[in-house]
């Protein structure tokens, strides 16, 4: 891995993940490409079912049958994951790439003490003594701001509050100093105040350790304060990507605009909340051409063609992109 | 939190008076079973110590050697108290060892079926289904008729009867738990598969197993007694509780109640004590039920 030094933390090229079902092929992730440099935070935004979580699972190599990664390359620090054996892939997971899940109530094993769960994450990848592993586990708990870590190490998950559990989950993800963390809506289940604390904590950790972070969410207001770059997904494809300020202030794609307008605090008092009409289409019956056209106010005959993702660094997949800045909230 | 986990376990366990009584009774039974050769007035299996002239003495009567038969004697002239002590021993050995081995076999089969899925799963579970569709007593009877008498053989018969319960239960629990996010999280951590199965998956499937195993210890003891009662379990020279009850059964109507009644009580106390303790263990050991 001589290229490791200068390669981006994660480079995804033309990733496609399909599910072969009885009703047909579901293209959950369809030709997705992006890259994240070390220490950067990328927001991956979209509605439910847009394929953002599946992108995360694909990178982790956790797609279960009937799903399958059918195309594309995933490079972590320059290493092509497709070329790794199952054992090397296992070594990669949790060590170079870690993941944090949405529901902290579910991701910790209820019958194992926190110290067991933390030390085994270290011992699965490194030959260190148990004492050493315990010391590192304790340090990780301190890093994520858990008070009295010694006592906490001896506790079972059910003795923690939701926010504390998510901190533990984050601490576990940090244990092996991964190059990349994929966070799948980790603050959705938490209070706003706790969410703020965890966001600030994650941002600081990424800056300090050079860990790259993918933050999967549907919440643009989280992304605005946290991420460096943003990719917006719709129906398995990236429809807009770029620097976070560019995308949020000069959103080009009508779907991104719709998402921004849907943030309640942006709407003037007393007016009806804005929303994107319709639902995310079923991935089995996608409209031809632009998948968003049936919900799009700007759609016309041109949209029957397949739009391409064009324009670096602020790319958009649309024939009629917006050019004016996003209105400031009233 | 100064109390150690063990102290907490003890105090949780003792929260229920009935469970505590069960535990005390079980300990007493265990003590008797363990020390039967030292605390029994007589070795009931040593035929040279038996005297047919002592047969069917009522409780409290003096035997030929001058000792008092506290609970009377049976039709062979055995001191009932000694016979019960030794009988408890057999019951517990048979019940516990059959359950432990069946639990082990059933758990391995069930986990394998759940994790492998597909044809392996189908094959193993159909075998279990076929077996579960016959009454346990029937299977045990057929097996013992084929194998003959003896402690080892009755244990084999009980294992054969029991493993399918565990296999089915473990598989069901494992299939549910496998889909839980913490298993996914463990995979994400890159833990080895064997560790995920045995450290993460298995402990979460245990609560139902503990309940079943505990109930099965009691039912294994009962089944052994039943088989012995029917004359298929253990040889007449080494009577277990079931055989003692069967022996006394013939004399019930002639007023010689003690030959059947006292072994029956011993059996009852053992089974109830095991069940009480098992119930409480389930509540205390399950971290998800903890208050």
Q: What is the ipTM of this complex?
A: 0.72
- Residue A217 confidence (pLDDT) above 70: yes
pLDDT per residue as tens digits for the range A23-62: 888 888 888 999 899 889 999 998 887 888 889 888 888 8
Of the candidates A321, A276, A326, A283, the one whose C-alpha atom is nearest the C-alpha of residue A302 is: A321
Is the CB of B187 less than 8 angstroms away from the CB of A112?
A: no
Residues counted in chain A: 330
Summarize the confidence of residues A64-75 as an average pLDDT. 85
State chain A's mean pLDDT as an integer.
85
Partners of A180 on chain B (C-beta within 8 Å) are: none
Min Cα separation A22/chain B (Å): 18
Q: Rounded distance, CA A310 to CA A241, Å? A: 10
Is residue B44 situated within a structural domain? no
pLDDT per residue as tens digits for the range B244-257: 888 888 888 888 88
Q: Is A297 strand, coil or helix?
A: coil
* Residue keyed to tokens 């005297």: B51
The 3-state secondary structure of B19-57, one letter per residue: HHHHHHHHHHHHHHHHHHHHHCCCCCCCHHHCCHHHCCC
Handedness of CA A241, A243, A249, A250 (dihedral sign): negative
pLDDT per residue as tens digits for the range A221-245: 888 888 999 999 998 889 999 999 8
Q: Report percent pLDDT > 90 for chain B.
A: 21
Pair A73, A83: CB distance under 8 Å: no
> Is A110 an 8 Å CB contact of chain B?
yes
Instruction: List, as ranges, residues 176-215 from B with C-beta within 8 Å of A.
Output: 180-182, 184-192, 195, 199-200, 203-204, 206
Is residue B171 situated within a structural domain? yes
Helix axes B241-249, B80-116, angle to 10 degrees: 130
Query: Of the given ranges (A71-75, A132-136, B123-127, B192-196), which has the lowest mean pLDDT?
Result: B192-196
The reported pTM is 0.73
Summarize the confidence of residues A250-270 as an average pLDDT. 82
Query: Where does the pLDDT of residue A2 fall: very low under 50, low under 70, confident under 90, or very high at 90 and above?
Result: very low
Cross-chain CB nearest to A90 (options B182, B184, B190): B190
- Domain CATH number, residue B121: 1.10.3720.10
Is the CB of A95 less than 8 angstroms away from the CB of B192?
A: no
Is residue B9 situated within a structural domain? no
Cross-chain CB nearest to A107 (options B182, B203, B287): B182
Cross-chain CB nearest to A107 (options B185, B195, B288): B185
Q: Is B283 strand, coil or helix?
A: helix
Ordered DSSP codes for A217-274: ES-HHHHHHH-SEEEEEETTEEEEEEEHHHHHHS--SHHHHHHHHTSGGGSPTTSPPP
Six-digit token string for A186: 């980790």
- Residue A5 confidence (pLDDT) above 60: no
- Residue A104 confidence (pLDDT) above 80: no
With a CB cutoff of 8 Å and minimum separation 6, the contacts of B82 are B36, B40, B41, B42, B43, B44
Q: Report percent pLDDT > 70 for chain A.
A: 97
> Is B68 an 8 Å CB contact of chain A?
no
A-B contacts at Cβ under 8 angstroms: 70
Min Cα separation B198/chain A (Å): 12
> Is A267 an 8 Å CB contact of chain B?
no
Q: What is the pLDDT of residue B286?
A: 64
Segments forming the whole domain that contains residue B184: 14-34+76-289
Query: Where does the pLDDT of residue A306 fall: very low under 50, low under 70, confident under 90, or very high at 90 and above?
Result: confident
Q: What is the pLDDT of residue B171?
A: 92
Task: Find how far residue B130's CA is from the centre of its chain.
Answer: 24
Partners of B189 on chain A (C-beta within 8 Å) are: 93-94, 98, 120-121, 124, 172
Q: Any idea of the CA torsion for B235, B241, B247, B249, to the nearest 10 degrees? A: -150
Query: Where does the pLDDT of residue A63 fall: very low under 50, low under 70, confident under 90, or very high at 90 and above?
Result: confident
Q: Rounded distance, CA A176 to CA A125, Å? A: 8
Q: What is the pLDDT of residue A1?
A: 43
pLDDT per residue as tens digits for the range B119-177: 889 999 999 999 899 998 999 999 998 988 888 899 999 999 999 999 999 999 898 88
Q: What is the pLDDT of residue A258?
A: 87
Is residue B67 situated within a structural domain? no
Six-digit token string for A97: 């790439």
> Is A101 an 8 Å CB contact of chain B?
yes
Q: Which residue of B has its CA nearest to A102?
A: B181
The CATH topology of domain A9-39+46-84+214-288+303-330 is: Rossmann fold (3.40.50)
Q: Report percent pLDDT > 90 for chain A.
A: 11
Q: Which residue of A has its CA nearest to B203?
A: A111
Q: Rounded distance, CA B33 to CA B240, Å? A: 12
Cross-chain CB nearest to B190 (options A92, A110, A151): A92
Cross-chain CB nearest to A125 (options B1, B190, B199): B190
Cross-chain CB nearest to B190 (options A94, A112, A158): A94
Ordered DSSP codes for A199-223: HHHHHHHHHHH--EEEEEES-HHHH
Of the candidates A246, A240, A186, the one whose C-alpha atom is nearest the C-alpha of residue A213 is: A186
Tally of CB atoms within 10 A around B3? 10
Q: What is the pLDDT of residue B64?
A: 76
Q: What is the pLDDT of residue B24?
A: 93
Q: Which residue of A has its CA nearest to B193?
A: A90
Instruction: List, as ranges, residues 76-95 from B with C-beta within 8 Å of A.
Output: none
Report the number of distinct structural domains present in chain B.
Answer: 1
Residues of chain B with pLDDT under 50: 1, 291
Tally of CB atoms within 10 A around A316? 26
Is residue B23 situated within a structural domain? yes
């Amino acid at each position: 891995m001589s290229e490791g030094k200068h390669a981006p933390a994660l480079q995804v090229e033309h990733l496609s993940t399909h599910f072969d079902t009885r009703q047909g092929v579901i293209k959950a992730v369809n030709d997705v490409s992006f890259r994240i440099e070390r220490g950067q935070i990328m927001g991956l935004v979209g509605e439910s079912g847009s394929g953002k979580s599946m992108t995360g699972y694909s990178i982790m190599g956790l797609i279960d049958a009937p799903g399958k990664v059918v195309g594309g390359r995933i490079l972590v620090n320059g290493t092509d994951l497709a070329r790794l054996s199952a054992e090397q892939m296992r070594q990669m997971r949790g060590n170079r790439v870690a993941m944090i899940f949405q529901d902290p109530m579910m991701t910790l094993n209820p019958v194992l003490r926190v110290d067991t769960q933390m030390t085994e994450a270290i011992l699965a990848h490194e030959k260190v003594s148990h004492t050493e592993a315990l010391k590192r586990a304790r340090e990780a708990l301190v890093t994520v701001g858990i008070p009295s870590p010694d006592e906490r190490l001896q506790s079972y998950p059910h003795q923690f509050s939701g926010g504390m559990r998510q901190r533990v989950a984050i601490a576990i993800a940090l244990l092996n100093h991964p190059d990349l963390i994929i966070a799948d809506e980790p603050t959705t289940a938490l209070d706003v105040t706790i969410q703020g604390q965890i966001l600030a904590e994650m941002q600081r950790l990424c800056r300090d350790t050079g860990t790259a972070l993918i933050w999967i969410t549907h919440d643009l207001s989280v992304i605005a304060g946290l991420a460096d770059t943003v990719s917006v997904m719709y129906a398995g494809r990236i429809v807009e990507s770029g620097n976070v300020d560019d995308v949020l202030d000069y959103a080009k794609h009508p779907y991104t605009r719709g998402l921004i307008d849907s943030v309640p605090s942006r709407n003037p008092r007393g007016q009806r909340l804005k929303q994107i009409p319709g639902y995310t289409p079923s991935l089995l019956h996608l409209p031809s051409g632009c998948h968003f056209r049936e919900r799009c106010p700007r759609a016309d005959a041109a949209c029957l063609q397949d739009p391409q993702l064009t324009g670096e660094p602020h790319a958009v997949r649309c024939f009629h992109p917006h050019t004016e800045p996003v209105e400031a909230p009233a | 939190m100064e109390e150690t986990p063990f102290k907490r376990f003890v105090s949780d366990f003792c929260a229920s008076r009935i469970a505590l009584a069960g535990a005390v009774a079980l300990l007493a039974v265990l003590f008797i079973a363990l020390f039967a050769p030292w605390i029994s007035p007589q070795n009931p299996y040593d035929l040279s110590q038996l005297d047919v002239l002592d047969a069917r003495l009522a409780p409290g009567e003096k035997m030929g050697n001058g000792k008092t038969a506290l609970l009377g004697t049976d039709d062979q002239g055995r001191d009932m108290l000694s016979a019960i002590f030794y009988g408890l021993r057999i019951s517990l050995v048979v019940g516990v060892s059959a359950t432990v081995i069946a639990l082990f076999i059933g758990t391995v089969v069930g986990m394998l079926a759940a994790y492998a899925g597909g044809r392996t799963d189908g094959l193993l579970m159909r075998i279990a289904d076929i077996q579960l569709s016959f009454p346990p007593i029937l299977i045990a009877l057929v097996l013992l008729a084929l194998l003959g008498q003896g402690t080892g053989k009755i244990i084999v018969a009980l294992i054969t009867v029991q493993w399918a319960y565990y296999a089915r239960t473990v598989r069901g629990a494992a299939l549910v738990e496998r889909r839980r996010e913490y298993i996914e999280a463990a995979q994400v951590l890159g833990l080895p598969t064997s560790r995920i199965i045995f450290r993460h998956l298995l402990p979460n499937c245990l609560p139902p197993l503990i309940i079943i195993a505990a109930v099965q210890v009691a039912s294994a003891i009962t089944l052994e007694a039943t088989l012995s009662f029917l004359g298929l379990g253990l040889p007449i020279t080494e009577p277990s509780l079931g055989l003692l009850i069967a022996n006394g059964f013939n004399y019930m109507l002639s007023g010689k109640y003690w030959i059947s009644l006292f072994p029956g009580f011993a059996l009852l106390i053992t089974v109830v004590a095991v069940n009480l303790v098992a119930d409480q263990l389930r509540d205390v050991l399950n971290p998800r039920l903890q208050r």
